[in-house]
Amino acid sequence: MIRSCRKKVVSALCALALAAGTAVTVSPGANATPIYPSKVKDPYFQVPKSKYQNLTHGKLIKSRSMKLPQFPRTMAEQMVFASTNSHGEKIFSTALLLRQAHSYALPNVPTLVYNHFINSLGTECQPTFSLTTPINQFNNVESLTTAAEITAGLNAALTMGWNILLPDFEGMQGAYGANILAGHIILDAVTALVTTPKFNSRHSKVILGGYSGGAMTTVIAAAMAPKYAPIPHFVGAAAGGTPADMEWMGKALGNRPNPGFGILAGTMIGLEREYPDRMNIYDRMRPEWKKRMRNGLKDSCVSTMVASFSGQSMRTVFNNVDVYKQHREFKVVRENSPLYYPLNPKMPLYFYHGNQDIAVPVAKLKQLAHRYCKAGTHVTLATMDLSEHLLVGFVGLPGALAWAQSRFAGLPAPNDFCEGREYNILPLGQLKPSTKKIERATTALSLHRLSPQRVSLHGWGGKHTAPRPTLVLFSQQLLFS
């Protein structure tokens, strides 16, 4: 019985790794030598330090407009802006704005900031580069997979009349797992948007959103926004399947060989890129793994990264490293975990989560939500019975989008969780056969489109209905979630 339970926990954590990214690290050295991704070939993104070192973070450096055939009703704007890394040092970063045609004449169109769970080592795996780079300019053509994952979902969301901002929150060095850096980049992208007259968005209402790995960056960005980005008009943040405690996840997975180890290895490499003085990763890899990194893994997107390290562990990739002895490194992990990040959001929050998600326990999220309640944040929590980490991602999405619509409409934000109420998306007694089809679709790693439906919403002082938008699944990832 104990062995069976242990297998289920390990299996669930491995599945979660494909969506969230778990951070585990090895002992530091005095002079770590990170392995960085290849530089983007487009000279437009080769910005000298003199162009941003004296700028305020959130200041637009340059932008260019382009028409993307996959988004026929919008104009795309590539943005380059000043930001700061985790240590307060000036950097530049990038984002892609998908802009409604009417936004040129009609000011202050609502903006949804979608934080995709990138989970990759290659800079080009991020949305701006994946969606706009000519195929002959990629360092790794696998970077096109990100565009394939998100295009259909973005088009569905654009029909709601919002502008959509896609920050490349891993930065130009592919610092996967560095959520403080990610928060800075997300907020600076929004600040650049609203302070640049060209975009006609000075007083736009802004909502942050993301699922799983993207939820972590969303929550940390929401928490740091009042101090770091006071100019934008944030009206809320929606986060699904939020891994609140990355330290717990890393230690729970431990040293066991598992199919999701590529996500762990990727997180370690990404964090070393951002914290080279506190972590020593690449130098402690076995020679054969160093070679594989040099030969292309340093630029890999999530599929290749996971496949390459599948079945490995800390002991097989590194020199018999024991994760439980890496106390200093877990301080870096804690710093980048929502549960231990010290600031609290002022904007209202909408969380949705699976009650049976043993890889990302809802208890950890509730611990975080209770802290936010004590700080005065309005919190709504929608949970789902019989749901692991992936299923709630799209069953819970209609409620999140309806909540976002209400915030854009200026309705008062509910405070259900802080007032002792939880909204159950699908109670045990309401399960329908169609739910099994949804679960099979998730497991089969197929691309599916669900017909528009109506979804009942509770917890706003009565019962309401709202349209359920088109949803898309691809490779166990909820598009636009």
**pLDDT tens, residue by residue, 139-170:** 888 888 888 888 888 898 899 999 999 999 99
Both tokens of residue 431? Answer: 């399960």
How far apart are alpha carbons 182 and 213 in whole angstroms?
Answer: 11
Check residue 31 and give its pLDDT: 59
Q: Please state whether beta strands 74-84 and 90-100 pair in parallel, antiparallel, or not at all (unpaired).
A: antiparallel
CB within 8 A of 341, min separation 6: which ones?
Answer: 179, 180, 219, 220, 223, 224, 335
Question: By mean pLDDT, which of 57-61, 143-147, 252-256, 383-387 is the weakest?
Answer: 252-256
Measure CA 116 to chain center. 5
How far apart are alpha carbons 413 and 348 in whole angstroms?
Answer: 6
The distance in angstroms from the start CA to the end CA of the chain is 35
8 A C-beta contact, residue 368 and residue 248? no
Confidence at 359, pLDDT banded by 50, 70, 90: confident
pLDDT, tens only, 400-424? 999 999 999 999 999 999 999 988 8
How far apart are alpha carbons 15 and 263 in whole angstroms?
Answer: 10
Helix (H/G/I), strand (E/B), else coil: 15:
helix
In this structure, the number of other CB atoms found within 10 A of the CB of residue 346 comes to 16
Residues in the chain, how many? 481
Q: How many CA atoms lie within 13 A of 365 on its CB side?
A: 31
- Amino acid at residue number 470: T
Rg for the chain, CA atoms, rounded = 21
